[in-house]
Structure 1
């Protein structure tokens, strides 16, 4: 039973505004108006090829030409190497054992991609969405301008949108595409933000008024007679996992229907080689990035939404680059005609990249799919750092340092976010319960969605600021969304229903197990199915059974309190009180409960009894 590790809340600008005001000496004023939504592009788009990226490869100028497709997904603004488990991948060894490898960091990703392109004149670099959003402080503090700047330097050619591209709404996404300084905070440096050099594709994201895509639906790469079209979509369920404000005025259409529609458009324009960039994913049978999911007995190799999408997308599409689930896989899934088709995903946070060889048939203009090869590669940290990326990190790091380096707490060891119930999940829930009680002493418990926890707290941080010290930057990386901590009243019956919604309804196939504050306990029986996996008569609060007719005061972040992540009952609470943002709650808790001589010990994560 896979448990998703996505987070789907909006980052509000008010935290950034408040913090930057405190460090005004490092910010240049002068706000410019936000970029308007770009017009729909229904005509064929032709953008830069990759001249100068190599010296030819494959079959030369004969009938067949190898085209290199480098791809990655779910970067989430991780410019610096991710910490802890977020910065590692699992590698399957020849003897069947596994080992973990440190991976990620834009300085290393740039080096790996540039080395991979050497000798490949026909090379395209594409991405599967969530390039920004839920970003660490280095990027998130500046509304992800640093990440767009890094992707420009990386020579990214094209990407689909993901759900996190809508964290701050369509107008902010348009600004990231088109440029211009932030509408309320102005320019962060002495140069105006120029926007993305690459197109964001949003074929299935329509303006509700015009009924047209808010960004280009597709893009065509051309190089010496070779043409490859790209169609970009995000998951249709984006409105369910992003705040209502982030998707206001937008509609999200079916992924398969949209891809099939634009595949026909591209074919009419003479583009027969087509790749779909799909921000939706699956769950591989193995957590190892190099697992052979086409091996005998592996079935389709991946389960989840992308499997159904891949089986129904028109055979006109030759490969699918996917994302969203932060998983790693390179699988073939039969298209509707029964022909194998490559489906890939490169984990997340820049830890992997996928290298796919598409053999282009100049006679037909199509991909000879029997010759398609693909593999995921680790972004190891044993290669030279790309100097231009180091300069970029240093530039933005200097601006962020007055805010990010401030200590907010101390820990005695790594506090991880892994598992059905995680130590960090318990800590955050306890922090929100403590904060809730400062607002209303009658607060009974707190609930935290696992996807809102973006990184672990590590005892020795990458920046080396000191063993056990938790800085504001690290706290921001854990909780980057600036959701408020809200209090609501629920009946005991509603509270029981909320716990059952973790494993039923929209969450049945990929459960989202809420992290719970101290005092709440229950049993999760994974041998059962559906809502019955939550054992009702095991639910206790401070040792007493939940009274279905009693009223309980519950703290949760504003995204959950609004019914997000498939918890509609949480949206039905009464007597709402809106508090400060969730990082403030975490900071207050760490400050009050830890010191250099008495650091916080990682919680035991023993509140949920799991039966397997």
Structure 2
């Protein structure tokens, strides 16, 4: 139990908040190296600092596969799957590099000739231990009603009920288990989420992009344990790390040997039948994570990686193969359907070896249940609101999957697990003195929804951009004229209705504000020419790997306006003559002072123009800027969303 008492600092927030919250003497025991997995992964001993002191990963042994072919096109099916149910077992020391261990107690069968294996999958949990608030805590049902969903105590109860149907159950996460987390987890470096998932009984986590937010050494600490290098062990209790396995088949630390950061796959055995689980993250991770988070790592093609591993597994007599991947798609139906599915997962599914039976996916925070080719392809939304129940019937004689079904189950808020409820309550109590501090007020909900026919700007994003401009407009703080905010960095709404410890509508607490911006990015003011601003706006529009036009609209501060054409080709969408600052058109050769966060300043989200910025001046944390803005401008209303205009 973490003790309360005197002042301590909290990691990256130590620069701003010294909170009378968690005291006691900080004890930092040596990092313990725990043997886990095969021989081609990086262990704490392979990383300088052995548990999070900023050293790079330099492990030894093993190799990750390469080769195979990428696919394209293909048709997608809709809803569900065929076959009969079942579940899976526990155990397995699954190896990387092909020496996967075995385990499980077997026993669940649909007859003497088959074994029933159950895979329970979820994705993009993002440390949501508490029931998520607002639209991020609901699931839209087929009848268009909204159901409150999520919260780890409810998640644990639903998972236990599903697991009880069969002893042969494997629980898998398709990445972003941690990172971009609410305060109750992030304040303690996401250790509470790891502890919760140990209690839940998670078996495998395929790392996602957000697992890399704090760098390789910190990610290794999450797996193997050790005290935080910034805070130590809060009350002298050693953090033991995850009891489940992190997998990363396409994350390579040495391209010459093919050595991977974590094992490539894990093998489980049930009553003599083996099932392989290959774990991966998206190849594009470096473009959406700060460079320091992925320094020294190479992210390989997802299809090539799997297709090289399949023959290796088959040589071991394994025919049942599940891919757990942090990459996804965009559906148009409800949570158990698959109409109109698009996005990278379609090409990936079509390109993977036909021997792959199931793809449990994530990243897009969408819910779908598809058949693509002959593969089941699923995603369980985000924040623990859904659990995907995947049931496989496997032949004892051939090891082949003979039937398979999938069903997304809503995690309704009924009958919470008492153990998980106690864990959340404990951390809520520790975080409360900071989380419940009132920062300001709002006149209505500030949300992330773009109005119908809108140009991409939304209320919460616009307010953040305004706060960043206000923090850097004074000459001594950079003399900024405009601020841009990446939409993906806005993680939650600010709801108007009172919640938690609040007694009055419209109150905004530090905990709520932190949930909106949990990354701890700093502000950077730089000089750009007018033509660079024009190119920056053009970089909002791109064509994805499947040739589908997409956009990532930057949130802009008050006084900055422009127009773009929906039908114009990529690279020619923005009318430079329409770009204005406070009503004055910008000039191509004139220089302007621009504020962005440190993620964007390093070229994050593929906004490479920002790397060209000169005369850089570092500023406050993004969260500080928003806190100060609310202190000075409350009550804050939803701003007009007319800063960006879209034309046909």
- Return the TM-score normalized by structure 1: 0.89
Match of 1:570 in 2: 610
Q: Distance in 2 between matches of 1:455 and 1:222?
A: 41
Q: Confirm or deny that 1:360 pairs with 2:415.
A: no
Q: Distance in 2 between matches of 1:532 and 1:561?
A: 23
Match of 2:532 in 1: 494
Q: Confirm or deny that 1:23 pairs with 2:20.
A: yes
Per-residue deviation, 1:561: 1.1
Moved more, 75-84 or 439-448: 439-448
Match of 1:373 in 2: 405
Q: Confirm or deny that 1:384 pairs with 2:420.
A: no
* 1:129–1:161 Cα contact (<8 Å) kept: yes
Q: Confirm or deny that 1:517 pairs with 2:557.
A: yes
Aligned pairs for 1:192-207 (under 5 A) are: 192-207=238-253
Per-residue deviation, 1:27: 5.8
* 1:282–1:303 Cα contact (<8 Å) kept: yes
Match of 1:423 in 2: 459
Change (3 A) 1:392 1:355: same
Unpaired stretches in structure 2, ≥5 consecutive residues: 1-8, 32-43, 48-58, 63-95, 451-455
Match of 2:70 in 1: none
Change (3 A) 1:593 1:219: same
Per-residue deviation, 1:461: 4.8
Match of 1:4 in 2: none
Give the alignment partner of residue 181 of structure 2, picking from 129, 132, 135. 135
Give the alignment partner of residue 362 of structure 2, picking from 320, 323, 339. 323
Change (3 A) 1:131 1:461: farther
Match of 2:40 in 1: none
Per-residue deviation, 1:517: 0.2
Per-residue deviation, 1:15: 2.6
SS for the counterpart of 1:285 is coil
SS for the counterpart of 2:605 is coil
Q: Confirm or deny that 1:249 pairs with 2:264.
A: no
* 1:32–1:182 Cα contact (<8 Å) kept: no
* 1:136–1:476 Cα contact (<8 Å) kept: yes
Per-residue deviation, 1:50: 6.4
Per-residue deviation, 1:440: 3.7
Q: Distance in 2 between matches of 1:19 and 1:388?
A: 34
Per-residue deviation, 1:119: 2.2
* 1:127–1:159 Cα contact (<8 Å) kept: yes
* 2:21–2:433 Cα contact (<8 Å) kept: no
Give the alignment partner of residue 485 of structure 2, picking from 442, 448, 456. 448
Give the alignment partner of residue 101 of structure 1, picking from 133, 147, 158. 147
- Could you say what the CA RMSD is over the residues aligned between the two structures, in angstroms? 2.1
Q: C-alpha offsets along residues 211-268 of structure 1, whole Å, 9 cap, x if unaligned?
A: 4001111101122212111011111111111111101111111111111122222222
Q: Distance in 2 between matches of 1:14 and 1:323?
A: 28
Match of 1:59 in 2: 110
Match of 1:410 in 2: 441
Unpaired stretches in structure 1, ≥5 consecutive residues: 1-11, 335-339
Match of 2:513 in 1: 475
Match of 2:125 in 1: 75
Q: Distance in 2 between matches of 1:48 and 1:474?
A: 43
Per-residue deviation, 1:57: 5.3
Q: C-alpha offsets along residues 137-196 of structure 1, whole Å, 9 cap, x if unaligned?
A: 111111110000111111111110001111111111111101111123111244211111
Q: Distance in 2 between matches of 1:509 and 1:49?
A: 46
Q: Distance in 2 between matches of 1:412 and 1:58?
A: 58
Per-residue deviation, 1:269: 1.7
Change (3 A) 1:195 1:83: same
Q: Distance in 1 between matches of 2:469 and 2:570?
A: 28
Q: Distance in 1 between matches of 2:28 and 2:11?
A: 15
SS for the counterpart of 2:421 is helix
Match of 1:9 in 2: none
Change (3 A) 1:251 1:446: same
* 1:489–1:553 Cα contact (<8 Å) kept: yes
* 1:330–1:376 Cα contact (<8 Å) kept: yes
SS for the counterpart of 2:563 is strand
Q: Distance in 1 between matches of 2:419 and 2:642?
A: 46
Change (3 A) 1:187 1:263: same
Q: Distance in 1 between matches of 2:104 and 2:15?
A: 42
Per-residue deviation, 1:604: 2.5
Q: Distance in 2 between matches of 1:564 and 1:600?
A: 29
Per-residue deviation, 1:471: 1.1
Aligned residues: 572
